[in-house]
Amino acid sequence: MNPQQIKIMLDLQDSMNTKVNANWQTQGYEWYRAIWVECAELLDHYGWKWWKKQTPDTEQVALELIDIWHFGLSILLQSGTKPELIVAQIQNQLVIVTDEHDFRLDLEKFVAATLNDHQFHIGLFGRLMAGIDMSFEQLYRGYVGKNVLNFFRQDHGYKDGSYRKHWHDGREDNEHLVEVVLSLDTTKVEFKDELYVALKDRYSI
């Protein structure tokens, strides 16, 4: 687990939250509530209805976990803990392993802990990642990709309605994002900057 990658994610989350509200850390936003609502959506993608046949959509579950990671990082940053200490905390606690065979039980433990103290339980989140065979690299790639795309949208008229979600070839920006991310070296510190430039190049065609 690369500490530089963790630091990049923390910086991106702080920047995005600041873009929404410059004083976000003092607003008392209920990040924990966003987490448990996302967990409910995640469970729908995984499947829980015993009266019908359901197959887990692990790709959608992974996307929901990435969304939860956004809110979790926000809780950690809002605590006032120094970023370098948060990096160490994540390194120590994000153990991607589980001994639970039923993913849904791990999910319920995570939700219960979240509702109990309104904190982000990194270790329990790691169990969820393990439950769908999600690596730290996949989390990083997905997280940075989603963040950079959100910034790109804001910078190109998302708020005033002038942004084009469908690009020159008729495909959505999310599809272009997936292609561009796979073409870049995610281990480079410049990954997020190179990703933004690559999106800009495609958008301007």
Domain ranges of the chain: 3-134, 147-203
For the chain, counts of helices (H) and of strands (E) = 9, 0
Structure token pair of residue 91 = 């390194």
pLDDT at position 19: 86
Is the CB of residue 19 less than 8 Å from the CB of residue 154? yes
Name the DSSP class of 133.
T
Nearest CA to 134 out of 37, 47, 66, 183 is that of: 66
Question: Which superfamily is assigned to 3-134 in CATH?
Answer: Type II deoxyuridine triphosphatase (1.10.4010.10)
Residue 28 backbone phi and psi in degrees, to 5: 70, 30
Helix (H, G, I), strand (E, B) or coil at 99: coil
pLDDT at position 8: 93
pLDDT values of the chain reduced to their tens digit, one per residue, 205 residues: 889 999 999 999 999 999 888 999 999 999 999 999 999 999 999 999 999 998 999 988 999 999 999 999 999 999 989 999 999 999 999 999 999 999 999 999 999 999 999 999 999 999 999 999 999 999 999 999 999 998 899 889 888 899 999 998 888 888 899 889 889 998 888 999 999 999 999 998 7
